Amino acid sequence: MPRVAFTTLGCKLNFAETSTIGKQFLDRGYDQVEFGEETDVCVINTCSVTGRADRECRQLIRRALRGKGKPFVIVTGCYAQLDPSAIASIEGVDLVLGAQEKFDLFRYIGPLEKNLYPHVFVSEIASIDNFGPAYSTEAGNRTRAYLKVQDGCDFNCSFCTIPLARGGSRSQDVEACLAQARGLVAEGYKEIVLTGVNVGDYGKKTGSHLITLLRQLVQIDGLRRVRISSIEPNLLSGEIIDFVAQSDKMCKHFHIPLQSGSDEILRAMRRRYTTSQFADLICRVNESLPGCGIGVDVIVGFPGETDTLFEQTHRFLTELPVSYLHVFTYSERPNTPASGFGNAVEPKVRFHRSDVLRVLGMKKKHSFYSSMIGKTEAVLAEDDIDGPARHGFTGNYVRVRLPAEKTSGNSFHQVRIVGVEDDLCVGSIEECEVPA
């Protein structure tokens, strides 16, 4: 039986797409093995959101090429779309596939024989119109599934390569999303996380809307939770906030990219809101959904970010009532407007600012977790056991440690939060199984 190994870099969307690619191999009789084990084929799904991601991709490719058995190496994903020549220049790579080609992989593979030169199939990004239905699950846990409902982006922020790597915004129709969701529930999954490049833009080009999909998803029997992976602030409408507040199935959790707490930098980034509008949105969420988990993305070291402008961001985030931060260090990306702005921030300054905001993020997360002490929450326990403990998440995205002997995997438990340790809450079991 032929063997295949996969490895993925980047976002949950990439993992969902790797899962779909993997099914093509499994349907053809391949045995999946872990990346690094001896294999006949190795598929690497890449990311290119930062220069560091590009370097990690090249390292993984070389690691695969050093593997036993000299596997047939296929590279796809965002880095393959953006810079196929860089990948093709790595001796030993056999096949490079772009965004249009990756879901029809077997059309391009041919005989699994090592090539003297790599075969490259990468369409112009303007021609990409396929969607590529996809979903993925977390290894070892039949609890949470990530369902791809949207791809591409029309926003063209000045720092971002996503429109260059994935094309314009497009969505899967509502019925197809519902059919996939029902299939996941039938397989035993109790929470579905909606994922995409710009989920809030769902359905805009076909006359639909994210709220339309949400209203129908929560009607699926057996589906206990629906979570939105990330949503742009200008697309998080009052209608969506109110629906999440009223629905027992919608997770009280939003991840909302901010990117900067300086209006000057936001304009340079070509973001579609001001800090005042963002603060008003966070206030609206907290008023409508007390205890809601709110995550925020922020980029530091953007061109022209002076010490004063960084202090504006730090002060804005300090005062902003959110639960946690995802901090990214700005990385120049080829063919993006920001790469030619000038006024670059020195790398050591970027990294220092990242450290400062990460410390702030840890403080905010600890404060949010501490606010949960004494509350009783439904926790979806995962299958994996770590010694005497099992872990799970509340609806508002608080990670909780549970006693393994009193819990069962892929089950909801009524849990009283009794403390905070390290990066999680500690739970005491109130009720072993929460009825649907």
Q: What pLDDT is recorded for position 386? A: 84
CATH at 398:
2.40.50.140
* 277 and 392 both lie in a single domain: no
Higher pLDDT, 51 or 433: 51
* 121 and 217 both lie in a single domain: no
* 20 and 88 both lie in a single domain: yes
Number of domains in the chain: 4
CATH at 204:
3.30.750.210
Mean pLDDT for 9-36 is 91
* 104 and 41 both lie in a single domain: yes
* 309 and 388 both lie in a single domain: no
In the beta sheet, which residues pair with residue 399?
Answer: 393
What secondary structure letter does DSSP report for 30?
A: P
Higher pLDDT, 69 or 338: 338
Q: What pLDDT is recorded for position 126? A: 83
Please check whether residue 237 lies inside any domain of the structure: yes
* 358 and 391 both lie in a single domain: no
Please check whether residue 141 lies inside any domain of the structure: yes
What secondary structure letter does DSSP report for 390?
A: E
Mean pLDDT for 242-256 is 98
pLDDT at 133 over 80: no
Domain of 150, in residue numbers: 131-251
Give the best-scoring range by mean pLDDT among 5-9, 31-35, 128-132, 249-253: 249-253
Q: What pLDDT is recorded for position 111? A: 81
Percent of the chain residues past pLDDT 90, beyond the cut: 82
CA–CA separation, 149 and 173 (whole Å): 8
pLDDT at 314 over 60: yes
* 138 and 33 both lie in a single domain: no
* 78 and 142 both lie in a single domain: no
What DSSP letter does each residue of 50-117 carry, written as one string? SHHHHHHHHHHHHHHHTSTT-PEEEEEEHHHHH-HHHHHTSTT--EEE-TTTGGGTHHHH-S----SS
Q: What pLDDT is recorded for position 130? A: 77
Q: What pLDDT is recorded for position 70? A: 86
Q: Give the residue from 99, 127, 155 where a domain finishes.
A: 127
Tens digit of pLDDT for each residue in 370-391?
999 999 999 999 988 888 999 9
* 173 and 231 both lie in a single domain: yes
* 115 and 140 both lie in a single domain: no
Q: Confidence band (pLDDT; 50, 70, 90) for 157?
A: very high
pLDDT at 140 over 60: no
Q: What pLDDT is recorded for position 138? A: 60
Tens digit of pLDDT for each residue in 58-85?
999 999 998 887 899 999 999 999 999 9
Please check whether residue 27 lies inside any domain of the structure: yes
* 7 and 104 both lie in a single domain: yes
Mean pLDDT for 214-219 is 98
8 Å CB contact between 217 and 170: no
Higher pLDDT, 78 or 12: 78
CA–CA separation, 419 and 223 (whole Å): 30
What is the strand order of the sheet 72-77 is part of? 31-33, 3-8, 41-46, 72-77, 95-97, 119-121
Q: What pLDDT is recorded for position 373? A: 97
Please check whether residue 195 lies inside any domain of the structure: yes
CA–CA separation, 155 and 152 (whole Å): 9
* 340 and 409 both lie in a single domain: no
Q: Give the residue from 109, 127, 145 where a domain finishes.
A: 127
Please check whether residue 280 lies inside any domain of the structure: yes
Paired tokens of 181: 């969701």
Please check whether residue 436 lies inside any domain of the structure: no
Q: Give the residue from 82, 102, 127 where a domain finishes.
A: 127
pLDDT at 214 over 90: yes
